[in-house]
Chains A and B, each alone.
Chain A
Amino acid sequence: MASQILPLELIDRCIGSRIWVVMKNDREFTGTLLGFDDFVSEFLHHLLSVVGNASSFPIDMVLEDVIEYEITPKGRKSTKLAQTLLNGNNICMLVPGSDGPEQA
């Protein structure tokens, strides 16, 4: 059987590389992942490896060289940001290694 990768393991492997974050609403972010929640990584990781369900836990992330994309009726508006702590509550999808909607 192929080896399993837990969701949080995948994110952990992304540290240091570009990541594309798609939010629940019309908003997206790209940035270099510097780290994510201590609490999740240290405590819940153990818990999740037993339960095997990461989907219901928010993952707060620290990103660098960030571009925020807001999808409005008029089109896509992008904003550059420096080091940013992104709240994990509204995250829908993470795309490792991608530089976002302009590259995809």
Chain B
Amino acid sequence: MDGTPPPPEATPPPPPPVTSGSPTEFLKNVVGKRVVVRLTSGVDYLGMFFSRLRVLSCLDGYMNIALEQTEEHVNGTVTNRYGDAFIRGNNVLYISAAEPL
């Protein structure tokens, strides 16, 4: 009808590329998977990476983690079980995938 340009496409811009192998990509890959989280104290937490928290990343320099169906292991024996657990990142030594990614 008139000369107005068509409205811009409604498709969202593609997400920024994530460097392959980066910590952020690792965290994306383990969402919903079982992981072992070892604290600097040597205590292990075995649990499922919380699938509802999608924005978890370590861009803030921390490794705050939410786990589901969590088992607490001390010296190889289960000492506690938690439904949901939040681990403050400053205590984390590493997060390791406990199943194939």
Which residues of A are at the interface with B, using a C-beta cutoff of 8 A?
A: 15, 25, 27, 34-39, 41, 58, 60-62, 66, 68, 81-87, 89-90
Q: Which of B19, B20, B59, B63 contacts A85 (CB 8 A)?
A: B63
Min C-beta distance of A96 to chain B, whole Å: 16
- Count the A-B residue pairs with Cβ separation under 8 angstroms: how many? 76
Return the 6 tightest CB-CB contacts between A and B, nearest first.
A35-B21, A34-B21, A84-B96, A35-B22, A85-B95, A81-B96
- C-beta contact mask, B24-45 vs A, less than 8 Å → 1, else 0? 1111010000001000100000
Q: B23 touching A60 by the CB < 8 A rule?
A: yes
Decide yes or no: A39 and B61 within 8 Å by CB, A81-B96, A84-B95, A84-B96 being known contacts.
yes
Min C-beta distance of B75 to chain A, whole Å: 11
Q: A35 touching B23 by the CB < 8 A rule?
A: yes
**Of B1-9, B66-74, B77-85, B86-94, which stretch is located at the interface?**
B86-94
Q: A37 touching B96 by the CB < 8 A rule?
A: no
Min C-beta distance of A68 to chain B, whole Å: 8
Q: B94 touching A85 by the CB < 8 A rule?
A: yes
Question: In the bound complex, how far is the Cα of B96 from the Cα of A83, in angstroms?
Answer: 6
